[in-house]
Amino acid sequence: MATIVAQQTFDSVPAPAMTAGPAPASTPQAVLLQTGLAYIASACLNTAVKLRIPDLIGAGAKDVDKLALESGTDPDYLYRILRVLEVSQIVTRTAARSYKLTDAGQLLRRGIAGSMADCIEWIADPLHLKLYSELKGSVQEGKTTFDQVYGEPFFNWLSKTENKSEAAVFNNAMTSISEMCIPAFLEAYDFSGFKKIIDVGGGHGALLRSILHANPTAQGVVAEMPAVLTQTKRAIAEDRLATRCEAAECNFFEAVPAGGDCYVMKHIVHDWADGAALQLLRNIRSVISPNGKLVLAEAVLDDSADPHPGKLLDIEMMAFVGGKERTRNEFQRLLHSAGFALERVISTKSPLCLLEARPM
């Protein structure tokens, strides 16, 4: 079964979350209800993943009563959740009370290549619902919601021992998102010319480990906060990369490891407002080799009204960390201020682009 979606890329999986879902609403009232109730669809999806409903349905179809028995849930309540998931195109009905997973639903099974279960378990979890219930005050004051509600920045809070189960959910989600994008990045960008690749804020190192596997002569460093590194080191060892990949303790606002001819950052710049982003980019600028490249993996927004997951993730940045998604021009200006020239913005088959810059 594990191979069902193993080869799927963004060519073959359904469109990203913002464009999937129910048919466009047909009346002004329906537009409002569809948008206003969207968080309930998120909560149903999150609940189904936590209950491992997609794993229990698996490759075939399953009757609601059997599913309820296996998941330890109430059959009527579970049926009503599945009815919402049907509208969201996560399951389809094979008989009156029997469901199977759609292609999108298959990606919610754990342990398969390309699984997005960890990502969905993070999105719309209780921490999200709590923060978004306080969004209004933060928009009024122009301040990060998380800091307002918890009295400290998200990454400080996450590194505390008492929050380690939430940290595990977050870090696993980041790895899941990375794994979803990695084939598209490797297809779109040639890392073969680099000797030492440094992934700044690299989490568990999923991206760098894949780059190193695809480029067997390169060395790598995952630079991360100490609280994350135990898991990063374990992942490097399990991936048999200990001789080529180091896990280095780093606060990227103070300094980043020197000696790289390629610095990669995925979903880092979007975590920070311009001042902080500038500081960390300048820290890379001060150590990157003169012919080196900086490669950012980020959503690149435009001013169109077209759907893009980055437009919602921009609000996630507002709520959690005070960062933002940026346009090409905003990236260009930011990079220029840090001493980098933006050379290319490469579209990939994922929702993220690769922005390649060189030191000026």
Determine if 224 is a binding residue for ligand SAM (CB under 6 A). Answer: yes
222 close to 242: Cβ distance less than 8 angstroms: no
Min dist CB 23 to ligand SAM, Å, is: 33
What minimum distance in Å lies between the beta carbon of 118 and ligand SAM?
11
User: Minimum distance between the CB of residue 290 and ligand SAM, rounded to whole angstroms?
Assistant: 24
3-class DSSP state of 292: coil
257 touches ligand SAM (CB under 6 A):
no
Smallest separation, CB 90 to ligand SAM (Å): 24
CA–CA distance, 265 with 338 (Å, rounded to integer) = 15
DSSP string, 312-351: HHHHHHHHHTS---EEHHHHHHHHHHTTEEEEEEE--SSS
Give min distance, CB of 276 to ligand SAM, in A: 9
Please tell me the chain's helix, strand, coil percentages from 3-state DSSP, rounded to the nearest 5.
45, 15, 35
The answer to the question of residue 230 lying near ligand SAM (CB under 6 A) is: no
Any contact of residue 128 with ligand SAM (CB under 6 A)? no
Smallest distance, ligand SAM to C-beta of residue 69, A = 37
d(CA 92, CA 89): 7
Options 134, 155, 195, 255; binder of ligand SAM; rule CB under 6 A: 155
Q: Does 202 bind ligand SAM (CB under 6 A)?
A: yes
Residue 178 sits in the site that holds ligand SAM (CB under 6 A): yes
Q: Would you count residue 209 as binding ligand SAM (CB under 6 A)?
A: no
Torsion on CA atoms 25, 26, 27, 29, rounded to nearest 10: -20
Cβ closest to ligand SAM, residue 88 vs residue 232 = 232
Task: Rule CB under 6 A: say whether 253 interacts with ligand SAM.
Answer: yes
Q: C-alpha distances in angstroms, 220 versus 135, 208, 237, 267? A: 39, 7, 13, 18
Site for ligand SAM in 84-103 (CB under 6 A): none
Scanning 52-60, 135-143, 185-193, 251-259 for contacts with ligand SAM by CB under 6 A, the matching segment is 251-259
Q: Which of 267, 270, 308, 336 is catalytic?
A: 270
Burial of 86 (0-12, 13-18, 19+ CB in 10 A): middle
Angle between helices 206-214 and 164-188 (to 10 degrees): 30
Q: Which stretch binds ligand SAM (CB under 6 A): 80-88, 185-193, 250-258, 307-315?
A: 250-258
Q: Does 183 bind ligand SAM (CB under 6 A)?
A: no
Does position 260 bind ligand SAM by CB under 6 A? Answer: no
Residue 268 sits in the site that holds ligand SAM (CB under 6 A): yes
- Kindly state the smallest distance separating residue 319's Cβ from ligand SAM, in Å: 13
Known catalytic residue: 267?
Answer: no
Cα gap 67→43, rounded to integer Å? 19
Site membership for ligand SAM, residue 267 (CB under 6 A): yes
Describe the crossing of helices 38-50 and 75-87 by its angle, rounded to 10 degrees: 120
Alpha-carbon separation of residue 61 from 47, 56, 97, 109 (angstroms): 19, 10, 10, 14
Q: Which is nearer to ligand SAM, 209 or 267 (CB)?
A: 267
Separation of alpha carbons 199 and 287, rounded Å? 14
Which residues in this chain contact ligand SAM in the complex, by CB under 6 A?
A: 155, 174-175, 178, 201-203, 224-225, 228, 250-253, 266-268, 271
Supply the residues annotated as catalytic. 270
